[in-house]
Chains A and B, each alone.
Chain A
Amino acid sequence: MDYRLGTQCQFVQNQVMVNSEKDRASLLCMKALANRGRLDTVSQQMASHPQYLESFLRTQHYILYMDGPLPLPYRHYIAIMAAARHHCRYLVSLHSAQFLRVGGDPIWLQGLEAAPPRLQHLDHLNKVLAHQPWLTARSHIQALLKTGEQCWSLAELVQAVVLLAHCHSLCSFVFGSGSDSDGTPTPRVHHGTPPGYCLCDAANGNTTLSPPPAGPTEKASRRRSLDSSCEVACLLEQIKKSQEEIKERKGDRLHSQTLLHSDVEEEEEAMFSADPSRFVTDPEFGYQEFARREEDHFQVFRVQDYSWEDHGFSLVNRLYSDIGHLLDERFRNVASLPFPHSPDLKRAIWNYIHCIYGIRYDDYDYGEVNRLLERGLKLYIKAVACYPDSSKTPLCPLSWGPVKASEKVHVNLLVMEARLQAELLYALRAITQYMIA
């Protein structure tokens, strides 16, 4: 324990030295470190944008711990469900531990079937929101709110939706930044590290301070992806291939993971960091190209008809007080992050992510996306936004090698926030439609 804390303090200190002007970040990190005895890897990544980090932490704390209609174990369980959709071991184990800490029933962690039926009902919405949010319809909301023994109240549902969207998008960030311990090349690193060395920290510390170390597998895959004109279809194929490999490796990896974590808390987490697929039904359901489905009856979502500022905010704030302001601050902060490139690029990234999810802006020329975003970046964004699943794709994100790690963090933040907003928009629109009818 002592040893780990020591390394973390060192890390924080390093950070202070690297960007001494960002006292605020280090302060926040220190605070978090002092509070929990550990600094979660996500916060470390975001620490390069202190203002954003502040609003992120505040939102997260609010939805997980502060006033709200859902009981605390429910909140963490919903977070587990959401993270499991993307096989994000990191978040699943984190929330499993917190679930137990707030007094959740350990039996629930055996799998979704062990959870109360009310939470099981939420699974469908979870699935749709995670992968194809445009399918979210009034009928889903209606089914959940239909009066009965296991019905949801509107306020509870809104909190659940915010939680789901938050965690889905956080999966993207975790995946993009490589914080998921699963994402690191497994056996090699383990041999070389001293006992008590934290896997997550390694992944993190390295990525923020220097370019991520590329394992041999990664290098190979990068070459492959550069050779072939890696379109998404081809990408999917690769995913399937690699999936099989991973399944084989999974057994011993788990083993090594439990060995690694030394302190009690980690052990506790590791116990539940086993397969997230326990919380998932219909695992085949995944992202599908929106454009292809356009001929079907799915209409493009026009921001001009339902926007966060005008509509989403008012609804969500009405049903779950104060969350609107917190989310608003997050969106604002991410929009005002200092970006080394032109604001056009930022807008292009944002709109591209929304476009992937079928959300269009009337006042945007989508040709600009192609002009401004190189293919590698586009693929990276798409992979992080739509397939943030480390058990499936260790391949694609590496085809985009940004010059600076900070740039990557920035893009990851954009992806996360854009995705969060997209899911919220779809869900809230469905709720609005339900309320009108």
Chain B
Amino acid sequence: MEKMNRVNTISGRTMFCHLDAPANAISVCRDATQVVVAGRNIFKIYGLEEDGFVERLNLRVGRKPSLNFSCADVMWHQMEENLLATAATNGAVVTWNLARPCRNKQEQLFTEHKRTVNKVCFHPTEVNMLLSGSQDGFMKCFDLRKKESVSTFSGQSESVRDVQFSMKDYFTFAASFENGNVQLWDIRRPDRYERMFTAHTGPVFCCDWHPEDRGWLATGGRDKMVKVWDMSTNRVKEIYCVQTIASVARVKWRPERRFHLATCSMMVDHNIYVWDVRRPFIPFATFEEHKDVTTGIVWRHQHDPYFLLSGSKDSTLYQHMFKDASRPVDRANPEGLCFGLFGDLAFAAKESLMAGPPSVGDVGRKTYPGGDRRYPIFFFKKPDVTEQFAQVSSALSVFESEAGSSVGMDWFINTAQSYLLSGKPFAELCEHNAQVAKRLNRLQESTTWTMLRIMFSEPANPSLSTNHNLNKSGNLPLVNSFSMKEMSAALNERNKENRQDNIHSLETNLNNNDENEETEGSEGQAEYLFGDAELDDDDLYSMEHDNQAAEEPEYLLPQEAFPLRHEIMDHPSAPEPVQEKPESPHVSGSEAESMCLTPMESISLISVSQLLFSPHLPPKFFCPIVKEMLCYYAEQGDVQMAVSVLIVLGDRIRKEIDELTQEHWYMSYIDLLQRFELWNVSNEVIKLSTCGAIMCLNQTSTTLHINCSNCKRPMSNKGWICDRCHQCASVCAVCHHVVKGLFVWCQGCSHGGHLEHVMEWLKQSKHCPAGCGHLCEYT
């Protein structure tokens, strides 16, 4: 009752006064009527009146005050009204007695620390006990009746940033360190800390014991976090964590509010935040008055949660009223929006907003009313009486993308699965990919592939001897920068869509080449028409089969670049020479070196046998354009195109683009592929990449460490014989012979053996061949 009365006597408003100099720390006396402000050039006591601060006393006396007056920290004794202690930047610990009759109130001076003292702390109940923590890594405990420290605690590390006596345990204090550690000490045992744990990365600037909960300690660090630790258990446990936007300089629990604490920052951010640690994402209240960083915060009275005092580098001292604080929650937007992997859109908003009748655009919308069972934590939070947050209940809507819509990512998956990246001659790869893109209605990409084929294919190659005239017409447009009019005119009939002129002429070239190949009895023309119209709606797989059947009847072993089933390949499939047409100089896209060599040879061949000048532009000519194009696609977010082209072009373009960019593209594409669980494609891409960093992705965590089945110790040398017990470790459970090659074993019972034996066994029996009774599965 008495306590309540006393608290009630405190009244006031939000107010401030100018100080002469920046403040470093403030402290308030027990009865909450006076506040002391300390800094490099200021050391004053202000009275807290109803309508303003009144300067009571200037402790900074003398004509040229020594550095002993330059305070890093100050504390007013909570038992003894006249007693103050300061930590000086020069390493001195000073006590001040306001009851001294003369102007100089300095009582004791301890100069035992070698470096700046960062913090002083009086014992909450013991009158004469003072603790200090310094930059030199030592903490010292002083008995104010003696001239020297009574004990010294060595943190065995860098500087001490904060020391705090426990509110509840008489003998315990906590110290926080620059290296991120927090130590707990027993005041009676200066030889060794009781406990130590790493609380933050980087310095821990501050810590504060909870005024009521015995074991709770809040720490704040340069890593922008506030953490609450529970010390009452055997293992120190982090129970709450608040992420702020700047390094945390001070942290103070709010009186009478179990889960609230106030923080301020040392750099950049000038505001004071009060957090509910259970709601770590948004501050409960914010005080935004200061113009420079806040250096000291203190609750005016230890049982009154409504008054907060703060000092700042902007040379002001503020009293904040809690009712005047701004509440970020009120301004916060309780709406959330997120795209799913497959183009679905989830949207959460206040229920009141979502209550209206479904509007026109609500096709494919699923609504999960507040309290959907799948999100129990989020929506079904039990209302807590101590929690002062407004309960907001949200409705979650999920808009599923329609199949084939532009939002969906089907095209990505389809493209990824259907593109061929290696295993065929360059021109065919391009052709194939162009068809794929076209089928998926991605005309720009399709045209790009076609253009690439024209640019980098050896135009003269397949028909060098046979089709002389066609060959010429195929080459000339390139030289004349795509402006053969007759050809584009001819093309207009065939082309149904209206495109730009230059694309027309490109198509011209495409058709020229098609004709080239056609004369050899190849698939060119047929494939073109085929991709154009007939099978547009067919799904992927049948498409692929049809493709092969239609276009490559003479290929006995059609090469699937994307094996749909598991298949062990040591190397990206290099086509056997038999499959190659004898005239074709192209080698598979995966064979990098030969690729760049062969066309060069044939160039020289042409120029010698046919003309004295090169009849076409060298592929190199196009590199800048292609590079620009790749960058364009990557910028557009279509990293798939960029990477696919990069792989297919191989050495033709690789050197034009710097390694880092390539690596970046590869990483993004692989990341995307893995999100869509396109493991095979992703693996293919990794295998085909030429960046060191990417290629090694396949080699990470591929080592399997095994223990000997006899002596249970790790096997080091060979997989099948143990060095230590000289026993054959891996014996096949079926044939009882040593397995030296592929060993397959059950993850359930760890029995196994030769792959074929186990496969055969499990066809007949469901049980483990070793007879352990386990029901093994082989899939």
Q: CB < 8 Å: which of B89, B114, B115, B178 contacts A309? A: B178
Task: Verify A314–B292 contact, CB threshold 8 A.
Answer: no
**A window 98-132: CB within 8 A of B:** none
Residues of A within 8 A of B769 (CB): none
Residues 52-93 of B contacting A (Cβ, < 8 Å) = 67, 70, 72, 88-91
Q: Which of B114, B116, B222, B291 contacts A314 (CB 8 A)?
A: B222
Docked CA distance A328–B202 (Å): 10
Q: Which residues of A lie under 8 Å from residue B205 when comparing CB positions?
A: 310
Assess the A314–B40 pair: CB atoms within 8 A: no
- Cβ of B268 under 8 Å from chain A: yes
Q: A362-B90, A363-B91, A436-B291 are in contact. Are A311 and B266 (CB under 8 A)?
A: yes
Interface string of B615-642 (1 = CB under 8 A from A): 0000000000000000000000000000
Is B490 in the interface zone, CB < 8 Å from A?
no
- The answer for the CA separation of A309 and B178 in the assembled complex, in Å, is 9
Query: Please, which residues of chain A bring their CB within 8 A of the CB of B135?
Result: 363
| Extra contacts besides A313-B202, A362-B70, A436-B314 (5): CB < 8 Å | A304-B70, A310-B222, A311-B266, A314-B268, A363-B113
* A302 beta carbon closer than 8 Å to chain B: yes
Greatest chain B CB density within 10 A among A302, A305, A435 is at A305
Leading 7 A-B pairs by shortest Cβ distance: A362-B89, A314-B267, A304-B89, A363-B91, A363-B116, A314-B247, A362-B90
B753 at the A/B interface (Cβ < 8 Å)?
A: no
Answer whether A363 and B222 are a contact pair too, CB < 8 Å, given A302-B40, A309-B178, A309-B203.
no
A274 at interface by CB-CB < 8 Å: no
- Residues 1-53 of B at the A interface (beta carbon under 8 Å): 22, 40
* A432 CB-CB contact with B under 8 Å: yes
Is B90 within 8 A of A311, CB to CB?
A: no
Q: How many residues of A contact B (CB 8 A)?
A: 16
Residues on A facing B (Cβ under 8 Å): 302, 304-305, 309-311, 313-315, 318, 328, 362-363, 432, 435-436
Q: Give the contacting residue for A304; candidates B114, B116, B270; CB below 8 A.
A: B116
16 A-B pairs within 8 Å (CB atoms) are namely A302-B40, A305-B40, A310-B203, A310-B222, A311-B267, A314-B222, A314-B267, A362-B67, A362-B88, A363-B91, A363-B114, A363-B115, A432-B267, A436-B291, A436-B292, A436-B314
> Is B246 an interface residue when CB atoms closer than 8 A count as contact?
yes
Query: Separation in Å of the B23 CB from the closest CB of chain A?
Result: 12
Q: Is B268's CB under 8 angstroms from A435's CB?
A: yes
Question: Chain A's nearest CB lies how many Å from the CB of B25?
Answer: 12
A310, A311, A328, A363: the one within 8 Å of B89 (CB):
A363
Partner of B266, one of A302, A314, A363: A314
User: In the bound complex, do residue B247 and residue A362 qualify as a contact, i.e. CB atoms below 8 Å apart?
Assistant: no
Q: How far is the CA of A382 from the CA of B63 in the complex (A)?
A: 35
Of listed A302, A310, A363, residue having the most chain B CB within 10 A? A363
Alpha-carbon separation in the docked complex, A318 to B245 (Å): 10
User: CB distance A363 to B247 under 8 Å?
Assistant: no
Q: Which residues of A contact B203 (CB under 8 A)?
A: 309-310
Closest A residue, CB atoms, query B270: A436
**A309–B135 CA distance with the chains assembled, in angstroms:** 12
Residue from the list A302, A304, A314, A436 in contact with B246, Cβ < 8 A: A314
- Contact partners of B88 in chain A: CB under 8 A: 362
Q: How far is the CA of A318 from the CA of B247 in the complex (A)?
A: 10
* Minimum C-beta distance from A367 to chain B (A): 14
Per-position contact with A for B84-113: 1 when CB-CB < 8 Å, else 0?
000011110000000000000000000001
B311 nearest CB across to chain A (Å):
15
Q: Are A315 and B116 in contact (CB under 8 A)?
A: no
Residues of B near A362 (CB, < 8 A) are 67, 70, 88-91, 116
Q: How far is the CA of A432 from the CA of B266 in the complex (A)?
A: 12
List the B side residues contacting A313 at CB < 8 Å: 202, 222
A362–B65 Cα gap in the complex (Å)?
13
Closest to B136 in A: A363
Nearest CB to that of B660 among chain A residues? A65
The residue of chain A having its C-beta at the shortest distance from the C-beta of B135 within the complex is A363
Q: Which of A302, A314, A318, A436 has most B Cβ within 10 Å?
A: A314
- Closest A-chain residue to B113, C-beta based? A363
- CB contacts (< 8 Å) of A315 on chain B: these are 267-268
Q: Can you name the residue of chain B whose Cβ is closest to the Cβ of A325?
A: B202
**Which residues from chain A contact B115 at a C-beta distance below 8 Å?**
363
Q: Which of B113, B114, B116, B267 has the most CB of A within 10 A?
A: B267
A362 to B39 alpha-carbon distance, docked (Å): 13
User: In the complex, which residue of chain A has the Cβ closest to the Cβ of B267?
Assistant: A314
CB distance from A299 to the nearest CB of B (A): 11
Q: Which residues of A contact B246 (CB under 8 A)?
A: 314, 318
- The smallest C-beta distance from A319 to any residue of chain B, in angstroms, reads 9
CA distance A376 to B78 in the complex (A): 54
How distant is B626 from chain A, measured CB to nearest CB, in Å?
18
Query: B68 to chain A: closest CB distance in Å?
Result: 10
B residues within 8 A CB of A435?
Answer: 268
- A8 → B minimal CB distance (Å): 24
A346 to chain B, nearest CB (A): 14
In the complex, what distance in Å separates the CA atom of A309 from the CA atom of B205?
10
Closest-by-CB residue of B relative to A437 is B291
What chain A residues lie within 8 Å of B266 (beta carbons)?
Answer: 310-311, 314
A315 CA to B268 CA in the complex, in Å? 7
Task: Determine the chain B residues whose CB is within 8 A of the CB of A310 once the complex forms.
Answer: 203, 205, 222, 247, 266-267
Chain A CB within 10 Å, residue with most, of B202, B246, B270: B202
Chain B nearest Cβ from A348, distance in angstroms: 13
Q: How far is the CB of B293 from chain A (nearest CB, A)?
A: 8
Which A residue's beta carbon lies closest to that of B245? A318
